[in-house]
Structure 1
């Protein structure tokens, strides 16, 4: 009976383990990881389950929490991953963020949503339209619409509009000018 209790105690101790990810296979419907539990134990092809709608490819060295069915080291699955090196810190209670190892993030703060491209472009694709239902839309930089065929920005078009003149027809030459003055109202 003592042997049975010892075997049960070992299985209970083997139910969970923490390790470091050393390889990710993200080519199948279920992602699999190679996880090093200690200097002697490297477990290959451990399936990783994530919440629906969220996916990631954790960098090498990311910590993984593995559950083993009945304490069997050949029948495990990753239930959580964490990487302290890239974790966003300082979130207030109730705030949420998704982020990666390159500094890109979507941060749902108490004051509003912050999208940080981490120095990379942000691209919206496959959307027949974008709607900004807001009383004021601000842009620190310049805006270029129809960018595939247009080279002039909105600021460039404003400059042309603010300084343009028109020919005035039927003006008798002499001391008169043939073009109008620029617009009176520049903004």
Structure 2
């Protein structure tokens, strides 16, 4: 009887183990891990059960929680992971963040909306049929480099005013001048007037001597 109870206690104690991630195989339909259980045992091919719609590849030496069915150490699954050095800290109740080891994140804040931190790297939206921004307030885009829009079907702005703090240029493939440069040319151009006559004659000028 005592041996049965001892076996039961051992199995209960073995249901949950703290572990360390040592290797991740992310090539198949289910992610598999090698985890270090007790400083000695390093079982392979432990399936990782992650939430639908979310996937990650935890860095080596991430914390892990291993669950063993009926306390059988040969039948385990990883149900949770945590990488202490890169885990964001100080979130307020109700906040959520998607993050990577190098600091990129999508932060759903309690009071500041949604914050995307790209850490100076590229952000791409691929194969979108249509992209629509419906803004109820001000839309601010802070770009350190160049903001590029590729829209073969055209771009439509439904707005009463389009403002720019800098200059604008259209038909860049054939037009060498910005709008400010064209305005300067226009304001300074002259029309030559030939065959001036007196009296009640009507004078018609020629085309301007500056065409841009």
Aligned with residue 161 of structure 1, among 161, 171, 179: 179
- After the TM superposition, which residues 1-187 of structure 1 pair with which residues of structure 2 at under 5 Å, given as runs? 1-110=1-110, 111-134=112-135, 135-141=137-143, 142-146=146-150, 155=166, 157=168, 160-164=178-182, 165-166=185-186, 170-172=191-193, 178-179=209-210
Structure 2 stretches lacking a partner, 5+ long: 153-163, 170-176, 195-207
Shift of 1:143: 3.2
Q: Superposition RMSD on alpha carbons, in Å?
A: 2.6
Shift of 1:3: 1.2
Aligned length: 173
* Larger CA Rg, structure 1 vs 2: 2
Q: State the match for 2:174 in structure 1.
A: none
Normalised TM-score (structure 2)? 0.73
Q: State the match for 2:173 in structure 1.
A: none
Runs of 4+ with >4 A deviation: 167-170, 177-180
- Asked whether the 8 Å contact 2:15–2:69 carries over to 1, the reply is yes
Whole-angstrom CA distance in 1 between matches of 2:138 and 2:50:
38
Whole-angstrom CA distance in 1 between matches of 2:150 and 2:19:
50
More strand by share: 1
Normalised TM-score (structure 1)? 0.82
Q: Closer, same or farther in 2 for the Cα pair 1:145/1:67, shift >3 Å? A: closer
Q: Closer, same or farther in 2 for the Cα pair 1:146/1:157, shift >3 Å? A: farther
Q: Closer, same or farther in 2 for the Cα pair 1:79/1:161, shift >3 Å? A: same
Q: In structure 2, the residue corresponding to 1:85 is in which secondary structure?
A: helix
Q: Closer, same or farther in 2 for the Cα pair 1:145/1:4, shift >3 Å? A: closer
Whole-angstrom CA distance in 2 between matches of 1:105 and 1:35:
27
Instruction: Say which structure, 1 or 2, has more relative contact order (CA 8 Å, 6+ apart).
Output: 1
Whole-angstrom CA distance in 2 between matches of 1:101 and 1:62:
11
Structure 1 stretches lacking a partner, 5+ long: 149-153, 181-187
- Asked whether the 8 Å contact 2:167–2:180 carries over to 1, the reply is no
